[in-house]
Amino acid sequence: MKPADLAAAFEDCSLDLNVFSHEEHLKLAWYYLGKMPVPEAMIRMRDGLLKITAHNGITGKYHETITFSLLMVIAQRRENAANPGWSAFLDTNKDLAQWRDTLAKYYHPGTLDSAAARGHFLFPDVL
DSSP 1: -
pLDDT tens, residue by residue, 29-45: 999 999 999 999 999 99
Let me know: does 71 contact 41? Beta carbons within 8 Å: yes
- Of the CA atoms within 13 Å of residue 125, those in its CB half-sphere come to 11
75-111 pLDDT, tens digit per residue, is 999 998 877 799 999 999 999 999 999 999 999 989 9
List alpha helices for the chain, DSSP H: 3-11, 22-35, 38-55, 64-80, 86-92, 99-103, 109-112, 115-119
Task: Write down the pTM of the prediction.
Answer: 0.93
Closest of 37, 31, 48, 44 to residue 90, by C-alpha? 31
